[in-house]
Amino acid sequence: MKVRSAAGDGDALCVTEEELAGDDEDMPSFPCTQEGRPGPRCSRCQRNLSLHTSVRILYLFLALLLVAVAVLASLVFRKVDSLSEDISLAQAIYDKKLVSMQENLQGLDLKAPNNCSFCYEAGQLGQEIRKLQEELEGIQKMLLAQEVQLDQASQTQELLSTTSGQISQEMGSCSFSIHQVNQSLGLFLAQVKGWQTTTASLDLSLKDLTQECYDVKAAMHQINFTVGQTSEWIHGIRRKTDEETLTLQKMVTDWQNYTRLFSSLRTTSAKTGEAVKNIQATLGVSSQRISQNAESMHDLVLQVMGLQLQLDNISSFLDDHEENMHDLQYHTRYAQNRTVERFETLEGRMASHEIEIGTIFTNINATDSHVYSMLKYLDDVRLSCTLGFHTHAEELYYLNKSVSLMLATTDLLRERFGLLSARLDFNVRNLSMIVEEMKAVDTQHGEILRNVTILRGESQIWIALPGSS
């Protein structure tokens, strides 16, 4: 699209449609917003959604880890409590049985100190008691080993408690970091909403600018059309004026010829005035010729007057056309000034929009770097959590191994405890039977001793009587 000058030489220029289209194409597009509303998802939105899902998965994973640690700690506490109760009950039972056996042995030692069979049986009982003591020492050693294992289990429990405390601290730090991440995400979303509003306002302003450009294009088309028409009209008028000037020049030359002819006729009439008298015979012919010449002169005068009227009309038309041309020049200059002002304002707006878009892109780059650093921090946290989880899993695996070993040893201890309790019951029964037999033997020995004392007394009586031969 071009604007012609008032002179019609086609030098003055305005903006072409291709340049306006190029300026429209240079404007950055914002695919995330369409008429103030969020458009299709971009990579940044998908990244935010993946970040939200990863944070939620991390929350669930940490909650499951805490639940698993709490359940395992409760199971370990229950196992340790049951083992300690079983060991305390076994120790109490063994202590009671040993006390009862010692009391029985002390009673036997007091009742029958001079019986050899009792001494032999007591020696066997002492050997059995030694064996029982050795077995009890072995059981005590096993109990000490179990106590060591229990100490280790308590230490592992303390380690678990400390690790659970550390995990809780890490969970607190993770929750704090996640809270910070949520706050930063909220700020980022607020910034994104602000950017969306700014992009919507920019879209509206760009639409206004495009509408103004279209209006300017339409005005320029109209101006070009009117200028073309006026230039064609001026060219036609110039052609007509050239033709009229040519005709006027021809008429002027004819008029000059006629004036010359009239002057020659006057000279000839002056000459012929003298010869009129001589040429009276030719007066009729000359009068006819003069009348014809007068008629032709009258026609010529009428034609000249018509030409004068046409020239007056043409001069008035040219004056009107000059006024119209002056008005058109004024309007074209005014339109050019308006277009220059509008283009200057458009250039200023475009410069301001470019500055704003540059700031928006810098902010977007800064937020991208911030989000990248946040994602890197979250990856580091995830790696640390996975490493901690693996270490806790290894500790729980070893703890499960130790618990399984403790359960196996407790099963073995229970079996040996059952065997020892059975042997103790059997030995106690044997000891009770031996005690009953020893009581019976004691009664027999007492009767025998009574009989012996009775016999000794009778023999002493018989010895004391001298005449009893």
Could you report the per-residue pLDDT of 92-147, keeping only the tens digit for each? 766 676 666 667 656 655 554 444 444 455 556 567 666 766 766 766 676 676 66
239 membership: H or E segment, kind and range: helix 116-274
Q: In terms of Cα–Cα distance, which of 240, 239, 257 is closest to 310?
A: 240
In a 3-state reduction of DSSP, which class is residue 376? helix
Would 1 be classed as within a structural domain?
no
Residue 323: inside a domain: yes
Final residue of a structural domain among 316, 348, 363: 363
Residues 115 and 202 in one domain: yes
Last residue of a domain, one of 326, 341, 363: 363
- Interior angle at CA 380, CA 375 and CA 382, nearest 5: 90
- Greatest mean pLDDT range, 8-12, 84-88, 350-354: 350-354
27: DSSP letter? S
Distance CA 206, CA 317 (A): 47
Does any domain span residue 98?
Answer: yes
Same domain, 66 and 198: yes
With H, G, I as helix, E, B as strand and everything else as coil, classify residue 38.
strand
Distance CA 411, CA 402 (A): 14
- DSSP 8-state secondary structure symbol assigned to residue 112: -
Report if residue 464 sits inside a domain: no
What are the φ/ψ torsions at residue 34 (nearest 5 degrees)?
A: -135, 105
Q: Are 121 and 434 in contact (CB under 8 A)?
A: yes
- Residue 280's pLDDT is 62
Residues 197 and 93 in one domain: yes
12-24: pLDDT as tens digits: 434 444 444 444 4
Would you say how long the chain is, in residues? 469
What integer pLDDT is reported at residue 351 of this predicted model?
81
Residue 245 lies in a domain: yes
Mean predicted lDDT score pLDDT of the chain: 68
- Terminal alpha carbon distance of the chain: 182
> Are residues 104 and 203 both part of a single domain?
yes
Higher pLDDT, 73 or 329: 329
Residues 330 and 412 reside in one and the same domain? no
* Domains: count for the chain: 2
Structural domain that includes position 246: 238-275+282-363
- Do residues 405 and 306 share a domain? no
| Residue 52 placed within a domain | yes
356 shares a domain with 422: no
Torsion angles phi and psi, residue 33, rounded to 5: -125, 140
**Any domain includes 242:** yes
Q: State residue 124's pLDDT score.
A: 64
Nearest CA among 174, 145, 194, 152 for reference residue 36: 194
373 and 393 together in one domain:
yes
Q: Do 91 and 174 lie in a common domain?
A: yes
What is the model's pLDDT at position 271?
Answer: 66
Entry pTM:
0.27
27 inside domain: no
Give bridge partners of residue 221 from the DSSP assignment: none
Instruction: Give the CA-trace dihedral at 314, 318, 320, 326, to 10 degrees.
Output: 180
352 in the same domain as 340: yes
- Mean pLDDT (whole number) for 330-343: 82
pLDDT at 20: 40
What sign for the dihedral angle of Cα 102, 107, 110, 116? negative
By mean pLDDT, which of 84-93, 103-112, 391-400, 413-422 is the weakest? 103-112
Query: In sequence order, what are the beta bridge partners of 33?
Result: 38
- pLDDT computed for residue 112 by the predictor: 47
- For residues 193 and 70, state if they share a domain: yes
| 208 shares a domain with 60 | yes
Q: Which of 363, 392, 411 is the last residue of a domain?
A: 363
